Amino acid sequence: MLDLDKIDVFYGEVQVLRQVSLSIKAGEVVSLLGSNGAGKTTTVNSISGVLPIAAGSIEFMGEDISQMAPHARVEKGLIQIPEGRRIFPTLSVKENLEMGSFLKRPKASRRQSMDRVMTLFPILRERTGQAGGTLSGGEQQMLAIARGLMSKPKLLILDEPSLGLAPLLVEEIFKVVQRIRSERVTILLVEQNVPQALAISDRAYVLEEGRVGLSGTGKELLQNPHIKKLYLGL
């Protein structure tokens, strides 16, 4: 579904990604791991088109999207939920969700999407009229993810969805990811919670200073001595 082939990305003169290659097959959950500043957000911003790539190529569903505008990528079903729960604080939960289905789509289909996300996130159904900004941090993250689902993604990119959440809510987010996957949405997950991310991932890539250091199945990486030492404190 997605193929990054040796992409280079710069901020000004500074090269941040070097020859990063990764691929995701339809139906997979793939994690992108790495310490602070390794280049995870830069990678996903290049995939969504927010950042230009200087070299290499990005293919999505067999099409070269390297030069495609971000909104055109969204229309193809490539949806990114950025880090930091960017919801509209003064709009209600329902209005926030409606903002996610701005794509030209018939009303009936939009209503169906709304129903689907409310079933995935029952807490949002209870709070449809409440202003987004008054939700708890965890609820805001659910809302941000639900809004992304409103545009019927083929590939959903989640950038650190569990950031800053209490342990119980972190668990809830991982359950949500699994529920979304069971709805046949392919997922690229950027995470700092390495053991939990690996446990639900088919495969993962570890970025180290802008390069792919390690990659493998979730199970393999959980057993990898380097990963155990660096991220699992073992």
Q: How far is the CB of 191 from ligand ATP (least distance, A)?
A: 9
Q: Where are the alpha helices (DSSP H) in 12-156?
A: 40-48, 70-75, 93-99, 107-120, 122-126, 137-150
Q: How far is the CB of 227 from ligand ATP (least distance, A)?
A: 16
Residue 57: φ, ψ to 5°: -150, 160
Q: How far is the CB of 16 from ligand ATP (least distance, A)?
A: 4
Nearer to ligand ATP by C-beta: 41 or 141? 41
Q: How far is the CB of 158 from ligand ATP (least distance, A)?
A: 13
Burial status of residue 216 (CB atoms within 10 A of its CB: 0-12, 13-18, 19 or more) = middle
Q: How far is the CB of 131 from ligand ATP (least distance, A)?
A: 28
Nearer to ligand ATP by C-beta: 18 or 105? 18
Nearer to ligand ATP by C-beta: 34 or 132? 34
Task: Starting at the earlier edge strand, list the strands of the sheet with 203-208.
Answer: 78-81, 155-159, 186-190, 29-33, 203-208, 211-217
Residues that bind ligand ATP (CB under 6 A): 11, 16, 34, 36-42
17's CB contacts (< 8 A; 6+ apart) are 7, 8, 9, 39, 42, 43, 46, 210, 211
Nearer to ligand ATP by C-beta: 140 or 193? 193
Nearer to ligand ATP by C-beta: 121 or 174? 174
